[in-house]
Structure 1
Amino acid sequence: MKFPFYKQYDSTDCGPACLKSIAEYYGKSIDLQYLREACYTGKDGVSLLNISNAAQNIGFKTQMVKTGIDELKKTFALPCILHWRKNHFVVLYNISGSSKPKFHICDPAQGLVICNEDDFFKSWICEYDSSHGIALLLKKTDKFHNRKHEGCEKSTNKYSLFDYILPYRKYFYQIILGITLACLFNFILPYLAQSIVDNGIKNQDINFIIAVLIAQVMISLGQVINSLITNWILLHMTARISISLISDFLNKLTRLPIAFFDSKKTGDLLQRINDHQRIQDFLTGSMLSLIMAIFTLIIYGIVMFKYDIKILIIFIVGSILYITWIQLFMKRRKRLDYMRFQEASVNQNSLLQLINGMQEIKLNGCEKRKRWEWEKSQAKLYAISIRGLSITQIQEIGGTFIEQTKNILISFIAAKAVIDSHMTLGMMMALQYILGQLNAPIKQFITFAETGQDAKLSMDRLVEIHNKQDEEPVQKNNDIPCNPTITLKDVTFQYEGLHSEKVLNKVSLDIPYAKTLAIVGMSGSGKTTLLKLILGFYEPTDGGIFVNNRPLSEYSGKAWRMNCGVVMQEGYIFSDTIINNITICDSTPDLQKFKKAIDVANLTDFLETLPLGYDTIIGHDGHGLSAGQKQRILIARAVYKDPPILIFDEATNALDTNNEKEIMSKLTDFFQGKTVIIVAHRMSTVKNADNIVVLNKSKIIEQGPHEQLITQKGDYFNLIKNQLEISI
């Protein structure tokens, strides 16, 4: 029985893909997306502990072990999951041979791979322990087959490529008509070539030859015109389909919860955009070529059958041998392609670090070390390319030999048939023309098989995104209260499920309308997470958040956030003008509000120094900004929005004391009549708050006004005391 293999969709999906393969091996099909969520896959991948918890959830008994190769061969049952090369997970499903054992690996990135003991040792054994590696052992329990859960239910596919093709079916019919005409032209050409020899040359009729040649020219011209029209229609259709695909994809992304983006690498999302291009290439190139190849093979197959059935049989056998030979090398080529992709990524990263980190490289005198890192990667890339070239050469030599042998045999049979008067010389010439025309369609079948597999994987990745639940799957209440009071009741939150560390633990808090709340605490105490829960980016693991005694989850997240002006630590500056960055919530900027916003954020003097003023391009592709200038633009963005709720997360930590004093003075007036939540470390930012909450180890340990907390001489007092000592 061949071990089930499932390719990982993203760079972080190896753990869930391994678990899916093992479940399938034991006869249970589980949705990969369910396993991703059960494993709490994030940007940094997935932990072995979370894989173990997910495996237990679907009915396995698990045991994590640190063991050696000998114990793995003799003691433990397979399949099991291995921690591979310190950043990957694979399945070991079999060990064959005794004197020279072979390790059979199911790698979600590469496929089914067989390793010798040396390669296995290098990939599995921990670097800091010369004899042991990490494995997750899985044993099936009765619960595995008896228990039903949502992961066993086949996910409904809400997304289909045909939904995008159907509106353009009239173009598709036109393309089929064009292909039919092209095949008709191809059908006529061999007979014209035959007639030149059998009739024109044999009868020495120059007028007939000229007439046939004119007909060939006209047919060739018709082919060119037909090809131009067909390709134009195809481009027109696929361009529209591609735009619709990408537009719907981006629209879907904007409807997904922020938790989705926290679990995906940017590269994986960009890969989805590339997937659209791959699908478009498949539609415009491979699929059209396949249809054309099928028609061509049928037409010319009929002609060969009419000439001599033996020739058709030799052609079919030779073509099958050629395709089989090419396919023999496909797995190795795919494995090398994956290795090349991985090493090229490392190589590019080394090069980017060499260029972008030049200042630090020179400061620390590590020019040679960084250059050697790149050279080492380049050498590996070169070695992979050499191996790929060797395989390509062997593949091409064998393929050419089979193809030429087939053509020579057909030529021999045709020549013998001419000698035996079973075939005319013109028919033989027509056969040579047909053989030349049939080489391309055979190769197109191989190309279609390769690109079709890639396109299917791309489509699966897109389906995964489109089948995800929107942030608001049903219409929610858009009527946000005018004077909202926010209440947190026993709020607990964990990023990675019930077995992970609690980021917030039983937090209860009242935030009255038009009051200022300050949240302080050590780094990692849960301050920013608390803000994200209040903004509706995440749902509490336990407990609830209420707005005027109504659950926050009942309100539209978009409508709620439109009532909030937010400055986050990781606030983003777009590559656009200053005015567009600040007035991003308005399609038509209000200049009066804009001027007030830049005044409150103390940006007026800075803008006057710029040649283009507030039309200056900033961001990644524009004018460079200091950290303080970025924060002031983010503050101006929140002020311009002028919402009833303001949330500042370390919004002034990059400002100098003079700027901070001026801005906080102006903000104090702006805060009047608004609910304000501030996360900060500086005493000057929080001391005037109506209530100060101190978070420590995920819990609220103190709260009250500044003077009261100072008098208590608790954690808040120590934070302020340490800050003053550092300032001195």
Structure 2
Amino acid sequence: MADDASKSTKPKPLRNPEAWREARHLMWAHRRYLGIGLVLMLVSRVAGLVPAASSKYLIDTVLKAPGRPDLLLPLAGAVLFATLVQGVTGYALSQVISVTAQRAITDMRRRVQQHITRLPIKYFDSTQVGVLVSRVMNDAEGIRNLVGTGIVQLVGSVFTASLALVALLYLNWVLTLAIVVILAGFGFTMSTTFKKLRPIFRERGQITAEVNGRLTETLGGIRVVKAYGTEKREQRVFTRGAHRLFRNIASSITGVSLVSSVGTAVIGAVSLAVILIGGRAILDETMTLGDLFAFVFFTSLLAAPVMQIASIGTQVSEAFAGLDRIREVMAMRTEDQEDRDRDPMGRIEGDVRLQDVWYEYNEGQPVLRGINLHVPPGTTTALVGSSGSGKSTLVSLVMAFNQPTSGRVLIDGRDLGELKLADYRAQLGVVLQENFLFDGTVADNIRFARPDATRPEIQEVARIANAHDFISEFPEGYDTVVGERGIKLSGGQRQRIAIARALLADPRILILDEATSSLDSESEYKIQEGLRRLRQGRTAFVIAHRLSTIRSADQIAVLEAGEVVERGTHAQLMALGGRYRELHDRQYALESDRFINPGEDFTPDPDFAAPAAAAGDD
């Protein structure tokens, strides 16, 4: 496994237009609840102005001689009413906006997951599972600050600051201009800081995805890790990734702390301006004491939103960084989008033909070289050859997981590259060496391709696959939970359930890729009968290292270095005496010699030979 969690990657340029476009789409999709939230926010902020405005009348009218004690209760009632309005609207706002944010997050996760599952298989070959999980779960989480409290609070803060600024200009425009200059400097500091913070937040998501990816690999392969005693090495890899994440977070903390510190300095500078300029205005009798008190209240209503904008700006920057990463995935062309321009496909006969097919994973390094192969409907073609000869690549082209670099794959005489993949794969069945079972019941795994299948149908295919007997022995039968990846079942049991799953799907084209190579002889014997029934009437491709399992194939294609070097039946290829005969004889010799390894110092064991002699064996 590569050390993906610790490698450094060059940050990609941020795409502001795309992120803003996605943000506008999100806000428009949830405009109803956002509108309600904005109204509640504005009502709350207007109510918040009442205590500030009442301070001037309290000092200059009610308390100043000769005084107006009759206005004391009405003024207190107005403040109490405004406070109650703030409380009620604040509670309603949190309910509306929080639910809206969670709805938006759920919708985004659904969209990203649907898009990812329809991407071509080559994307999954080069991307860690943990990275994809991070895209779906973590990056979508940040949008709460766009359609949740973030944007609404931002609008509310701007609204409050605007009203407070008007009131301040009315009370003392000179002092107000001094405060505006101070706050403008703070705003410039925030703008500069956020410009630097956004790439840091974007990199944080990338590092988190890489660390999650490696952790997922480690936990998924924990048996291999323990078998080779590499726990310490995996711990070091994770630690390096965790420290990269720590350094990234520390960098962002530094920026946020800088904004907070500057904000504190701004409060001090505003206080100083109020004391010097406001105090002088009172001495010059251009302001009353009530004006000064009201000015201080309105200054707090102006400064507090500006400070809040700093916090909101951090959240929104992090949300936009997540949107950047999501947009990378969403911009990729899916198989559904490719299918729009392709021809529909009805039920196929299963005639498969490869015409001069070349394929290369890396440019200039062909894996398949001019493959020409015809597989008539309802026949079985076995693919044999040494490791790396191109067998799995060939069937991946038949499954449309990859497209030929040149040449064509024809299905019933039609180019597979021009047909709808969804229609084609609905008629495709696969049984692999390590078949994936989901953490559900036996019945759920068998009916995976046909969720509407009845229990009798499930039991019927299980009988054909020689799986019904062992399933019936489970205490819960077909309702037995198999565990993650079918860990609670043996290898042979998982294979037979996979065969039953393929039978229930009723595919026209069947791929059997090393379906029995890891099984013992008894399990293989039971599975071979199920595979034989599965192949009946279907076009089948069989990859097998055990040549004894493919003798009944209608044709055998021998691949070497990406080319078909021999083709024929088992008898024809044995008579030919070429590469297939060589592979067959070598494997036969190994199987015959698996109990003894003759060497220079080998001496027969008389206790082992005696029973054979007594039985009259030659």
Same fold (TM over 0.5): yes
Query: In structure 2, which of residues 296, 303, 308 is the aligned counterpart of residue 432 of structure 1?
Result: 296
Residue 484 of structure 2 aligns to a residue in which SS?
coil
Q: CA deviation digits over 1:515-570, x for unaligned, max 9?
A: 11001112222211211211222221111111222222333211212222212346
CA offset digits 1:685-725 (Å, max 9, x no partner):
21110100111111111111112212222222222223223
Q: Does 2:351 correspond to 1:485?
A: yes
Contact kept in structure 2, 1:600 and 1:663, CA below 8 Å: no
Q: In the superposition, relative to structure 1, how do residues 570 and 315 fare at CA in structure 2: closer, same or farther (>3 Å)?
A: farther
Q: Is the 8 A contact 1:493 1:505 kept in 2?
A: yes
* Residue among 67, 81, 100 paired with 1:218: 81
Task: Tell me what 2:549 maps to.
Answer: 685
Match of 1:504 among 352, 368, 374: 368
Q: How far 1:375 moved relative to its partner?
A: 6.8
Q: Of 363, 379, 387, which residue of structure 2 is paired with 1:523?
A: 387
Give the letter aligned to residue 41 of structure 2: I
Q: Which of 349, 353, 361 matches 1:495?
A: 361
State how far apart, in whole Å, the 2-side matches of 1:108 and 1:205 are: 66
**Greater alpha carbon shift after TM alignment, 556-565 vs 462-471:** 462-471
Go from structure 1 to structure 2 and tell me whether the alpha carbon gap of 1:525 and 1:395 turns closer, same or farther (over 3 Å shift): same
Q: 1:159 to 1:614 in 2, by over 3 A?
A: farther
- Give the Å deviation of 1:600: 3.1
Letter in 1 for 2:340: V
SS for the counterpart of 1:490 is strand
**Distance (whole Å) between structure 2 residues aligned to residue 627 and residue 390 of structure 1:** 53
2:406 aligns with 542
Match 1:281 to one of 142, 145, 149: 145
- The SS at the match of 2:512 is strand
Relative to structure 1, the CA distance from residue 683 to residue 468 in structure 2 (aligned partners, 3 Å threshold; closer, same or farther) is same
Structure 1 segment 110-125 matched on structure 2, within 5 A: none
RMSD of equivalent CA atoms: 3.8
* Structure 1 residues 620 and 665: alpha-carbon distance in aligned structure 2, compared to 1, 3 A threshold: closer
- Residues 389, 183 of structure 1: alpha-carbon distance in 2 compared, 3 angstrom cutoff: closer
Aligned to 1:581: 445
Matching of residue 201 in structure 1 with residue 104 in structure 2: no
* 34, 47, 55: which one aligns with 1:185: 47
Taking a change above 3 Å as real, the CA distance of residues 574 and 374 of structure 1, as seen in their structure-2 partners, is closer
CA deviation digits over 1:176-196, x for unaligned, max 9? 333332332233331112212
Q: Give yes or no for contact 2:384–2:558 (8 Å, CA) kept in 1.
A: yes
Of residues 568-577 and 366-375 in structure 1, the stretch that sits farther from structure 2 once superposed is 366-375
Distance 2:20 2:331 in 1: 6
Determine whether 1:261 maps to 2:124: yes
Give the gaps of 5 or more residues in structure 1.
Answer: 1-42, 47-84, 90-106, 112-154
2:24 aligned with 1:176, yes or no? Answer: no
Which has the higher mean CA deviation after the structures are superposed, 343-352 or 662-671?
A: 343-352
Give the one of 108, 126, 146 matched to 2:11. 108
**C-alpha contact (below 8 Å) 1:325/1:399 kept by paired residues:** no
Supply the distance in 2 between the matched residues of 1:387 and 1:161 (Cα, whole angstroms): 26
Which residue in 2 is equivalent to 1:304?
168
User: SS of 1:215's equivalent?
Assistant: helix
| Residue 59 (structure 1) aligns with | none
Q: Which position in structure 2 is the counterpart of 1:145?
A: none
CA contact (8 A) 2:461 2:504 kept: yes
Quick check: 1:577–1:618 contact (8 Å CA) kept in 2?
yes
Are positions 1:250 and 2:116 aligned together? no
| Distance in 2 (alpha carbons) for counterparts of 1:302 and 1:227 | 24
Q: Which amino acid aligns with 2:54?
A: L
- Determine the C-alpha separation between the residues in 2 that align with 1:387 and 1:172: 33
Q: Hey, what's the Cα distance between the residues in 2 that align with 1:281 and 1:370?
A: 35
Question: Does the CA contact (< 8 Å) of 2:499 and 2:534 recur in 1?
Answer: no
Q: Would you say 1:711 and 2:614 are equivalent positions? A: no
Residue 672 of structure 1 deviates from its aligned partner by 2.5
Match among 405, 414, 420 for residue 269 of structure 2: 405
Tell me what 2:497 maps to: 633
Q: Which AA in structure 2 matches 1:630? A: R
SS of 1:288's partner is helix
1:21-420 to structure 2, matched below 5 A, reads: 87=7, 107-108=10-11, 160-163=22-25, 165-166=27-28, 168-203=30-65, 205-273=68-136, 274-326=138-190, 396-420=260-284
- The letter of the residue matching 2:505 is K
| Letter in structure 2 aligned against 1:266 | V
Query: Percent of aligned pairs with the same residue?
Result: 26
Question: What SS is found at the alignment partner of 1:502?
Answer: strand
Which residue identity is paired with 1:490? D
1:296 aligns to what SS in structure 2? helix
C-alpha offsets along residues 583-606 of structure 1, whole Å, 9 cap, x if unaligned?
112222222331232223332343
Deviations 1:609-630 (A, max 9, x none): 4322211222428763333333
**3-state SS in 2 of match to 1:507:** strand
Contact kept? 1:326, 1:399, Cα under 8 Å = no
TM-score, normalization: structure 2?
A: 0.83
CA contact (8 A) 1:648 1:679 kept: yes
Distance 2:132 2:108 in 1: 14
Aligned pairs, how many? 586
CA contact (8 A) 1:159 1:467 kept: no
Cα deviations by residue, 1:456-509 (Å, 9 ceiling, x for unpaired) = 34334444444443424426444435533111110111234xx33112110000
Give the 3 Å change call, closer, same or farther, for CA 328–548 of structure 1 in structure 2: closer
Instruction: Give the direction of change, closer, same or farther, for the CA distance of 1:299–1:588 in structure 2 (3 Å limit).
Output: same
Equivalent position to 1:618, from 482, 485, 503: 482
Q: Distance in 2 between matches of 1:456 and 1:356?
A: 32
Cα deviation, residue 260, structure 1: 3.5
Kindly state the Cα deviation for residue 162 of structure 1 after the two structures are TM-superposed: 4.1
Give, in whole Å, the separation in 2 of the partners of 1:417 and 1:518: 98
Indicate the structure with greater helix content. Answer: 2
CA drift at 1:364: 6.3
Report 1 or 2 for greater relative contact order, CA contacts < 8 Å, sequence distance ≥ 6.
2
User: 1:158·1:466 contact (CA, 8 Å) conserved in 2?
Assistant: no
Q: Does 1:600 align with 2:464?
A: yes
Q: Where does structure 2 lack aligned partners over 5 or more consecutive residues?
A: 594-618
CA 1:261–1:434: 2 relative to 1, 3 Å? same
Preserved contact between residue 635 and residue 651 of structure 1 (Cα < 8 Å): no
